[in-house]
Amino acid sequence: MCPTIILDKHSEQVKMVVGGSGGTNITTATAQVILNYLFFDYDLQKAVVEPRVQIYKNDTNVEDCFDV
């Protein structure tokens, strides 16, 4: 599991609650959803369904929809 609670730094109000469950990709997938939503201004649905890049030890995996 990777529960994450993000607070607004000024008001200390909850800005986002996100997390995931299952295997080794949880941390990077959760981080990518947070980045997509908070920094790239994607709506939540788009932030979640966007393709992922996963890095595990010395192995980088990209989803098939990326041109590499």
- pLDDT tens, residue by residue, 41-61: 999 999 999 998 888 888 888
Q: Which residues are annotated as a binding site?
A: 23
Does residue 27 belong to any structural domain of this protein? yes
Provide the domain count of the chain. 1
Does residue 53 belong to any structural domain of this protein? yes
Does residue 26 belong to any structural domain of this protein? yes
**What pLDDT sits at residue 67?**
67
**What pLDDT sits at residue 68?**
58
Contact 25, 49 (CB under 8 A): no
Does residue 25 belong to any structural domain of this protein? yes
Is residue 9 very low, low, confident or very high in pLDDT (cuts 50, 70, 90)? Answer: very high
> How far is the CA of 51 from the CAs of 2, 8, 17, 18, 43, in angstroms?
19, 27, 20, 17, 15
pLDDT > 90 in the chain, percent: 53
Does residue 28 belong to any structural domain of this protein? yes
Does residue 30 belong to any structural domain of this protein? yes
Does residue 68 belong to any structural domain of this protein? no
pLDDT at 62 over 90: no
Q: Which residues are annotated as a binding site for L-glutamate?
A: 23
Does residue 31 belong to any structural domain of this protein? yes
Range of the domain at 19: 4-62
